[in-house]
Structure 1
Amino acid sequence: MKIDVTTLYGRRAINRWERVSVGDIMERVTWSFPDKEALIAWAGACSDESLKRVTYRQGDRIANQFANALLEQGLKRADRVLFYCANSVEFFLAQIGTIKAGGVIVPVNVMLAPDLLDYIINHVEPSFLVTDTKTYPRAQEIFKRSKIHPLVTIPIGGDAVSGSKSFFEFIESQPDSEPEVEIHGDDIFQIQYTAGTTGMPKGVMHSHIYMYFCGIGWAMSHRGVLLTETDIRTGIFYPIFHIACQGMTFGTLLCGGTAIISRGIDHYSMAEAISKEKITWVFAAPHDFYRICEIIEENPEKYDTTSLKAISYGWGPFRPDYDKRMRKIFEENLLIVGNDGQTECVYDTRMWHHKWYKKYEEKEPAFNYLGVPHPFYATTIMDDSGKICAPGIVGHKVMRSPVMMAGYYKDEEATRHAFRFGWFDGGDAAMYDEEGLIIMVDRYKDIIKCGGANVSSIRVEQILKLHPKVENVAVVGLPHPKWEEAPVAFVVLKEGENTTEKELLSFCRYRLAFYEIPKAIIFIESLPQTVGGKIQKYKLKEEYKNLFI
């Protein structure tokens, strides 16, 4: 035991009683509600019946066993453990255990292209691999080439990978006491790789402090009208290898609430989970909520809609007509809030519909309002010289916060560039409106330079999505001999619908400036995208780069 009662700066919390560690989150709730359900496996998100409903005490003990098993295997502080898993209770508890042991978790997107996964493996140099039976075949050849064999398999979808131990085999006979490991709040507990929508992904370094503030921030803004924070019951449907649902899960546990973890996205299953598990809060993309609306409207007697108090969404604006439908289905006071952020710093802004409802109803979805910064964040808009922009002037959205990455792993140049203003610049172009609300304009790389005018691809996309026959759309700038870049819309139609380029262009003429109107519309069956729903526009640009040349 080290006691220091004289140093007033440069200190580090070295004792267990005062430390900030993500691995302690479940243990602390055992002192108030040990037998409360912490994690619920929904739609096949566990390999064993005993893990369908896990209490805080049970979950913490299992995580301790996993930590002790890793230490027995020789894990040292800061060793990287690669997780190649889809959602499951075991996946989450194994991450907690790794953190308790002083390791660094590296949860990777199981839908990554082979070259990107191969790059990550070589970049992060993991000491161990944890996978699940169903996802492992997608990448087994890459792991074999890299000579990385799974240490642990979560046996969902079959038996453990040959030569590895199943989750329960790995932890059996291990003590469920907490390991003695020195951990500090500014230690890195996770390296999470960016989506890789352009170029190779970057390894974002997260500290324990980052995740504490991230989780508390989520809970602050999304508990809705609940009397007690422990009543939060969160639906986790998007992957927990992404920062959004990972932060939501930790935020739920920091409140002493319950996280309902689903294996993946299925809209009928989401509607059923909300009804049967009395979920109070869900995060998803706008189109997910649109579909849930339609499912419940088709069969309203089947679903209990009384529990849901808050929804949060990202990746684009939320249509006002569906806002009204959600409030009719659930309740008039349903908290609907838009969030913006990224792996490096999530989430920094909030757009409450009820607070600016008239403006929201009039302006969205043609304008994507981000609202105002969360109290944990300083967020502003700067020009290329680092000066704050006046309303109506497009600039870089930048931020400062304790919810901030420590840097890009092994990439000092990219880290210096991201912080060149002394603030983090994630590449978003935004502007203030006349009231000081932030409007997302586009990703800087996606702004189209058309004949000297700046065209926001997001704005054109949202206008086209208003057409009743359009399911989804991506707008990109393609080289053009006259316009420099020409906006081109790639349109996915709703099932069973037909339309023409002429009809859609006519629809745009009444809603967009002449320079914003696409120079061509191309109908395709689906858009290339990441598992998180981000459209990979660079693939469209590459495939159609000679359209006008």
Structure 2
Amino acid sequence: MGLDVTSLSDRRAVNRWERASVGDVLERLTWSYPDQEAVIGWAGAFAHPEHERLTYLEADRLVAQVANGLLARGLQRGDRVLMFCENSVEAYLTKLGIARAGLVCVPVNPTLAPDVVGHLIDKTRPAFAVVDAELWPRAEEPFDEHGLAPGITIPIGGGAVEGSATFAEFVRGVPDGEPDVEIHGDDIWQILFTSGTTSLPKGAMISHHSSYYAAYSFALTLTRGIRLECDLKLAAFLPIIYHVADQIFTFPAFLSGGALVIGRKPDPRAIAEAVTREAITAVWSGSPAMANALADVLADDRLRYDPRSLKVLVYGWAALPPGTLTTFKRLCGDDFVAVEIFGQTEAISCHRFWPDKWGETYRRTAPERNYVGVPNPTLASAVVDDTGADLRDQPGIAGEAVYRSPSITAGYYGDEEATEHAFRGGWFHSGDSCTYDDRGLRVMVDRYKDIVKSGGENVSSLRVEAVLHQHPGVFKAAVVGLPHERWGEAVTAVVIAGTEHPVSEDEIIAFCRERLAGFETPKRVLFVDEFPETVGGKVLKYKLRQHYRDAYARRDAAGT
């Protein structure tokens, strides 16, 4: 039984009653709220009708059956299970079942190119795979080429892939008792791949302890405004299967004793319907653009939608326009709270910025400057220069955000060089550029690799994008540095134009020149119909830089 009552150091929890395992998050609640709904699938986010609404007891039994079913297939502790799935109740419970079995989940973004998927299969060498039926045509080529066959199909958009079982078939008749496995809190339960916005995705190794710390830190934020913590009803319509959002926008629902509503895709109308029907109290909107879209939907039809239950909205990546916050408060009530988070796959415990807490700063700077506030209490964070010196006493000077926390990655799977580079000087180096203001609040500048070095000046692409998005003729914009004989890199705006206000390159440049320094003003505006993006809506700027790398050389050759 591993009863050690002598050692006071170098101990590891080996007993079922004291371990930290992500696979246990539902089981813990079966002893307090067994008949309370724990997981609710929105339309399109469940494959089998009996899984649309599950109590803690029902959901936990399915998790145990997944775990026992995988172990019965011969999988052993530490084996990898690859998932090629979008959001669904069944996919989510499969993740928890993988963790309960002492295995390692390898969720893969299904929008990745086939050669990248093949690379990730080779890197992780999975012993088992789970796919969505509707995604199988995209997965079939890399799976076949790399000798991987699905064992479970989530039958959304089709039936079982040949040779596999549907989720319901896989768990049918499988015992729902406790699997006999050893799990430690520091074991890796998930390899989450980074967005790959600057290079091939890297596999962040996530431990059970890391997930618990991240989830508990967010439970504190997500339960603001409700009377009891167990009243939390959390909506997750953005990706939670292959995105780090699973750590902070699913587990807190259970650690609070609340409920999780899973949506298939980030559709603002579906979110508005769910807020109304399910009395959602907290929503992760992702980008401010999605928050804007949700606010517009709610405001456009006051008779259809009732958002008064909504207390917390979390957004990220950019500052929320003050007008959007005003709309939410008008619709939801004065106790509605918006909070911006700033983190990454490797370190999701995050900074937080509350517009209500720093109202004057927010009203004065948003959306041009992206204040990201302060680190949460589980995260030690500094902004340092190239020598590792803290820049707190030099407000306004850009440096790199570095972290220490139990809720950061344990390293990059199979990549010692990248891990050594990231973890140096006793800190995890994020690759994000930030500054302090004169009160110690952090301001996001840019990803280091996205800073444009033009004519000896460093230009924040995020700052220029914030200005571009204020133009009524700009629907979406991304700013990159492109090779230029004179400037080294030329600040270049890539723009998707809006449909209601025709706009020209000269007009946009003039608009920016009135609001930005000369060295920050775009030298060119390139119009496109769409951007290469991650599923979370981040623009893959390295692809833009590759595609348009000769833009100025071509222009000079043409004499323009």
1:498 to 491, 499, 502: 502
| Other-structure match for 1:546 | 550
1:513 is paired with a residue whose SS is coil
Alignment-derived partner of residue 487 in structure 1: 491
User: Does residue 401 of the first structure (1) align with residue 405 of the second (2)?
Assistant: yes
Deviations 1:242-274 (A, max 9, x none): 012443111111111110000111111111111
Q: Deviations over 1:198-254 (max 9, x none)?
A: 221111101000000111111111212112111110110111120124431111111
* Distance apart, 1:67 and its partner CA: 0.8
2:557 counterpart residue number: none
Separation (CA, whole Å) in 2 of partners of 1:376 and 1:2: 30
Find the counterpart in structure 2 of residue 462 from structure 1: 466
The answer to whether residue 35 in structure 2 is matched with residue 35 in structure 1 is yes
> CA offsets per residue over residues 281-302 of structure 1, 9 Å max, x none?
0012211110111112221111
Moved more, 504-513 or 178-187: 504-513
Number of equivalences: 549
What is the match of residue 384 of structure 2? 382
Cα contact 1:371–1:438 (8 A) shared by 2: yes
Asked whether the equivalents of residues 386 and 421 of structure 1 are also in contact (C-alpha less than 8 Å), the reply is: yes
Q: Secondary structure at the match of 1:18?
A: coil
**What amino acid is the match of 1:532?**
G
Alignment correspondent of 1:5: 5
Per the alignment, residue 558 of structure 2 pairs with none
Distance 2:77 2:91 in 1: 20
Q: What is the CA–CA distance in structure 2 between the aligned matches of 1:544 and 1:248, rounded to whole Å?
A: 37
Show the 5 A alignment for 1:60-75.
60-75=60-75
1:425 to 423, 429, 432: 429
Q: What corresponds to 2:274 in structure 1?
A: 273
Q: Return the letter of the residue paired with 1:158.
A: G
Provide the TM-score with structure 1 as the length reference: 0.99
Using structure 2 for the length normalisation, give the TM-score: 0.97
Report deviation, 1:406: 0.7
Q: What CA deviation, in whole Å up to 9, does each residue of 1:325-378 have, x standing for no partner?
A: 111121122110000111111032000010001110110111110001100000
Partner of 1:345: 347
Q: 1: distance between equivalents of 2:479 and 2:192?
A: 28
Once the two structures are TM-superposed, the CA of residue 413 in structure 1 deviates from its matched residue by: 0.9
Identity %: 47
Q: Which residue of the partner structure matches residue 127 of structure 1?
A: 127
- The code of the aligned residue for 2:427 comes to W
8 Å contact kept, 2:349–2:408: no
Q: Secondary structure at the match of 1:428?
A: strand
Whether contact under 8 Å (1:489, 1:522) holds in the other structure is: yes
Pairs within 5 Å for 1:442-461: 442-461=446-465
Contact 1:348 1:379 in 2 (8 A): no
Whether the 8 Å contact between 2:403 and 2:427 is mirrored in structure 1 is yes
**RMSD of the alignment, in Å?**
1.0
Corresponding residue number in structure 1 for 2:227 = 227
Deviation of 1:495 after TM superposition, in Å, equals 2.6
Q: Distance in 1 between matches of 2:425 and 2:249?
A: 30
Distance in 1, matches of 2:546 and 2:175, equals 54
CA contact 2:80–2:103 (8 Å) conserved in 1:
yes
**C-alpha separation in 2, matches of 1:198 and 1:356:** 33
* Amino acid paired to 1:337: V
Alignment gaps of 5+ in structure 1: none
Comparing 55-64 with 218-227, greater Cα deviation is found at 218-227
The CA deviation string for residues 53-74 of structure 1, in whole angstroms up to 9 with x for no partner, is 0110001101111111111100
Q: Within 1, Cα distance between the matches of 2:165 and 2:530?
A: 39
Give the distance between the partners of 1:317 and 1:229, measured in 2 at CA.
28
SS in structure 2 opposite 1:2? coil
Q: In the TM superposition, what are the counterparts of 1:14-53 in structure 2 within 5 Å?
A: 14-53=14-53
Contact kept, 8 Å, 2:198 with 2:449, in 1: the verdict is no
TM-superposed deviation, 1:120: 0.3
Instruction: Give the secondary structure class of the aligned counterpart of 2:314.
Output: strand
SS for the counterpart of 1:396 is strand
The match for 1:333 among 321, 332, 335 is 335
On the 8 A contact 1:441/1:456 being kept in 2, the answer is yes
How far apart, CA to CA, are the structure 2 residues paired with 1:501 and 1:169? Answer: 57
| Mapping 1:506-525, distance limit 5 Å | 506-525=510-529
> How many Å apart are 1:496 and its aligned residue?
3.4
- What SS does the corresponding residue of 2:181 show, helix, strand or coil? coil
Structure 1 residue identity aligned to 2:86 = A
Cross-structure match for 1:252: 253
Counterparts of 1:157 and 1:497 in 2: how far apart (Å)?
Answer: 38
Q: Are 2:481 and 1:477 aligned?
A: yes
- Unpaired segments of 5 or more residues in structure 2? 554-560
Map of 2:138 onto structure 1: 138
Kindly provide the CA deviation profile for residues 99-148 of structure 1, in whole angstroms up to 9, marking residues without a partner as x.
11111001111111112111100000000001111111111111111111
SS at match of 1:333: coil
* In structure 1, C-alpha distance between the alignment counterparts of 2:56 and 2:385, rounded to whole Å: 48
After superposition, the C-alpha distances for 1:436-492 in whole angstroms (9 at most, x for unaligned) are 110001111111111111110000000110112211100000111111111000111
The alignment partner of 1:239 has SS state of coil
Matched position secondary structure for 1:430? strand
Q: Please name the residue that 2:166 is paired with.
A: 166
